[in-house]
Structure formats: structure tokens, C-alpha cells
Amino acid sequence: MKFRSDPSTIRGSIAPVVTPFTAEGAVDHDSLAGLIRFQLESGSHGISLGGSTGEPSAQSVAERIAAMRTAVGVIDDRVPFLPGTGSHKLDETLELTAAAQELGADAALVITPYYARPTQEALYQWYATVAREFPDLPIVAYNVPSRTAVDIDPETVRRLFTDFENFVGVKETTKDFEHFSRVLYACGRSLLVWSGIELLCLPLLALGGAGFVSAVANLAPTAVARMYELWEAGDPESMDAARDLHYRLHPLVDLLFVETNPAPAKWVLAQQGRIASPHVRPPLTTPTEAGLTKIRGLLAEGADLTAPIGA
């Protein structure tokens, strides 16, 4: 909760951890706690839970709140905590956001309501409702049109940023890099923008982004965090080293999407012994044999980044 009063401190690599399940399909809180400890020990600058990588739509509200409680206990205010609290239903979104606030989250990451394909005015009203309901909690929109079939226009973000003091930023998970620039142009660079697209994480920093919420941090947390730190150092040698890490991460980025995220990442984490099972809930499935062949090859290419690296 200590970062809540100044959301501008929520920067860098915010790791969107997977939600581990047992082989029988229950939420595995022991593995979840272990993953979060791994992220903290590896240098991640913040923790997110319940975004797309966390399979939130396959969980009940009670399960998501219980997972938040586990995360808060492990994080213990050492880094910012940004849980995903959105749903396609407003009542669930408000319930999850209320729980996040009560548990001590530093901000709430609220996905655009999916399937319904609301208009821009409807999106404005949706986020306005959440912002009014929780005036003391920073609200971050989560824009991921590939999963929700709706895209938040820069003008809608500008209206929310202007009208609500606690609407502080947006996680942009769109491959349209022009969109990133137009959002920052419309709102000014005091808006906090994080990239959710792995290969746009480093480029966003050049535009003044706050950092990234990159699923590849599940596999290479030290490398992803170090990429941010090197870029922020600002000298030519450090920035060139950041670019080097960006390119070296390519195989692990490709690995994540051999089949639907987070199934490949969970398989790798299970092989590493970091979670007890690679189980994903329906409608997802664990990787096919053809997928595993590709995953193994890409893992071998990026293996040097899956362990902590030196400065």
C-alpha cells in the first residue's frame, strides 16, 4: 500500500505472474507464493496478478481474491502490487477492486469489458464508475484489444485522465505502436503507460513510458528488469546493453506464444520446478507435442537469460 499515495513510483518491470494450479485444477497457493518470492529475489520492480497471463476469466471472484491475499502477504510492501480486478461484469469488477483496495494493493489494473464491444462513451462511463467508487485507489486501464475486441481510443483515455485524479495510467497491449504515441500525446507524459507487448517494452521507454508488464518476466525476470534499469541509466553504453537484452530475449518471447499464453510459460516453470503442475484451465490446454518441440528449441536459445544475470 505504501506506493498507492504516489503512483508515479510504480515503474520498471512489473511481472505479471501466472496463476499456478494443481494437477487437479485447484489454485496452488504454495506455488504462487514461491513464484512471487522468485520475482522479488530476481529484481522485478513490481508484481501484477490476474491479468491475461493469470487466467482470470477461468477463475471465480473468490479464487481471484484469495490469490490477491496470498500475493499481498508475500510482497509485504517491498514492491508495488497491481492486481487485475476487471471482468466483463461491472458488479464483479467493483467487488474485485474493493477487495484489492482493502488488501492493500497499490493500484488496480482494470481490463476493458470483453465480448460486449462497448462504444467509447460506454468505456468512459465504465471506467468513470470504477474511478468514482474508489477515489483513493489509483486506477489503470488495461487495453488488450486482441483479447477483448475493443480498443480504448486516446481521446477516451484523455477524458478519463482529465476528469479523475485517480485515473493514472494505462497498460497498452496493442501492436499498434503509433497508438502508444498518440495516447501520450493526448494526455501528456505525466500519464503512466506500461507496455504489455514484449517486443515493444524497450521502444516505449524512448517515448517516456513508465515501464512494462511483460509475460516474459515469468521466465527471465532478472533480464527483463535489467533491461529497464540499463535504459534508465541513460548513458550510451548502458542503453546499448539494454538493446542487447531486448534482442537476446526474442526466443523467450516467441516461446510464450507458441500456443496460447500462459500454457507454454507454465510448462517451462513446471519443468524448472517452480510450480507443481503446468495445468491450465479450459478452454486452454497444456502444449501439444508439436508445440513442445518448438518450446524446447526456443528455450535452449534463450536459456542463458532464464537464470539471474550479473550487472
DSSP string, 133-163: H-TTS-EEEEE-HHHHS----HHHHHHHHHH
C-alpha cell at 154: 486516446
Angstrom distances, CA of residue 210 to CA of 113, 213, 233:
24, 10, 14
161 Cβ contact partners less than 8 Å away, ≥ 6 residues apart: 167, 168, 187, 191
Asked if residue 77 lies in contact with residue 104, where contact means CB atoms within 8 angstroms, the answer is yes
Catalytic annotation on 185?
Answer: no
- Report helix angle 29-42 to 221-233, nearest 10: 30
Asked if residue 103 lies in contact with residue 137, where contact means CB atoms within 8 angstroms, the answer is no
Annotated catalytic residue within 142, 175, 185, 266: 142
Catalytic annotation on 171?
Answer: yes
Of 187, 183, 229, the residue nearest 205 (C-alpha): 229
Annotated catalytic residue within 127, 171, 228, 266: 171
Asked if residue 94 lies in contact with residue 130, where contact means CB atoms within 8 angstroms, the answer is yes
C-alpha cell at 37: 518470492
DSSP string, 88-101: SSHHHHHHHHHHHH
Any bridge partners for residue 82, and if so which?
48
| Backbone region of residue 273 per phi and psi (left: phi > 0; alpha: psi in -120 to 50; beta: other values) | left
Of 96, 28, 43, the residue nearest 305 (C-alpha): 43
- Alpha carbons 136 and 153: distance in angstroms, whole number: 25
Active site residues: 142, 171
